[in-house]
Amino acid sequence: MFAPIEPQVALLDCVVASRSFGWHFAATCTSLVVCCGAAPTVVDASPQSPAVVPAAPAEVTPVPAPDPALAMAQKLYEEGSHAYNLGDFAAAITKFQAAYDLTRATELLYNIAQAYTRRFEIDPEPEHLRIALVLFGTFIKLREANGQDPRDAAARLQAIDLRLARLEAERREQERVAAALRAAAIRDMSYRPGKLGVAGYLAVGGGLLAGSGLGAVGLVSAQRLDDQRIRESDLPLDAARRGAYQAQLDRAHALGYASIGVGAAFTVVGVVMVAVDAARGRRRGGRVSFGPRGLAVGF
């Protein structure tokens, strides 16, 4: 019905003609029998001879009209071939698929598969090759089941299979390189403290410890002294006693606030030291390069 595109081109008219050929042949044979098979008639031209009435013409069987589905499939096939030749492989796939839905012609599977293969050249999506691989495989099975030659479909299927294997290998290699680059970037961004950084961490720790610890001691002591003074407020206290309470309360507050201030200062200094050391470390950071053995990261 349809021939695979590229190797050769066949039209649906051949199929329609082959279907109607039998009726034309039968009609022709009938006419030949009527005209040639009967005995020749001798006509006497003399006036005395009676006129001879000619025999009635033989009845001819009418030729049936072409199948509308086949006509539509032929139109779709021609439109698909035109789109294929123009490089519009997506449209060619649509037309060939519609023609196949009408006729179930095995040759159209070849055409669809080849269109998917060529479409990959424009849109390099591996899924196009996977579909072509399945279609070529189906075409080969159907042709062999009918005792027909699968043409070059086997060679095309093998080429697509190898191409998909190469694409998969390239994809895995790209993923490996990307993972190595991400790991190298993480290592490059990681901070390895030097002497200044270690001192900065110690300053931060000491500042937090001194600020929170001693500050808490001073403030708690001040609160206790204040509570004790409130409890003794009902008792008669001389000026010396009240002055002693106030002096102790002032010292406790001073200790607490001073501890918090010193701790905050140490923390700020430590953070600055760590930041400076980290900046120096990034300037000394590693370099990512490709060598004969793959990805290399130097520090």
Distance CA 49, CA 298 (A): 125
Question: Has residue 164 been placed in a domain?
Answer: yes
Judge if 110 and 146 occupy the same domain. yes
Domain boundary at 190, 212, 247, which? 190
Judge if 27 and 159 occupy the same domain. yes
Judge if 219 and 116 occupy the same domain. no
Judge if 186 and 78 occupy the same domain. yes
Q: Which residue has the tokens 């000394």?
A: 284
Judge if 185 and 199 occupy the same domain. no
Judge if 241 and 277 occupy the same domain. yes
Question: Has residue 214 been placed in a domain?
Answer: yes
Question: Has residue 235 been placed in a domain?
Answer: yes
Distance CA 94, CA 128 (A): 14
Domain boundary at 153, 168, 190, which? 190
Q: Report the greatest alpha carbon distance in the chain.
A: 183
Judge if 110 and 234 occupy the same domain. no
Range of the domain at 219: 195-298
Question: Has residue 159 been placed in a domain?
Answer: yes
DSSP single-letter state for residue 294: E
DSSP letters for 173-215: HHHHHHHHHHHHHHHHHS----HHHHHHHHHHHHHHHHHHHHH
Structure tokens at 111: 């055409």
pTM greater than the 0.85 cutoff:
no
DSSP single-letter state for residue 6: T
Judge if 182 and 292 occupy the same domain. no
Judge if 126 and 199 occupy the same domain. no
Judge if 145 and 131 occupy the same domain. yes
Judge if 130 and 266 occupy the same domain. no
Q: What local confidence, expressed as pLDDT, does residue 78 receive?
A: 96
Q: Could you list the mean pLDDT of each consecutive 10-residue stretch along the chain, which spans 299 residues?
A: 53 37 34 37 45 56 75 95 96 96 94 96 95 96 90 91 94 91 70 75 82 74 69 64 73 78 84 81 52 46
Helix locations, the chain, DSSP H: 13-32, 68-85, 89-103, 106-122, 126-145, 153-189, 195-231, 239-283
Please count the other Cβ atoms lying within 10 Å of the Cβ belonging to residue 265. 14
Q: What local confidence, expressed as pLDDT, does residue 118 receive?
A: 96
Question: Has residue 51 been placed in a domain?
Answer: no
CB-CB contact of 70 with 16 (8 Å): yes
Question: Has residue 283 been placed in a domain?
Answer: yes
Question: Has residue 280 been placed in a domain?
Answer: yes
Domain boundary at 165, 190, 215, which? 190
Q: What local confidence, expressed as pLDDT, does residue 120 receive?
A: 95
- Within a 13 Å sphere around the CA of 168, how many CA atoms are in the beta-carbon half? 9
Distance CA 160, CA 118 (A): 11
In the chain, the number of structural domains is: 2
Judge if 24 and 166 occupy the same domain. yes
CATH number at residue 180: 1.25.40.10
147 exposure class (CB count in 10 Å sphere: 0-12, 13-18, 19+)? exposed
Sign of CA dihedral 255, 256, 257, 258: positive
DSSP single-letter state for residue 272: H
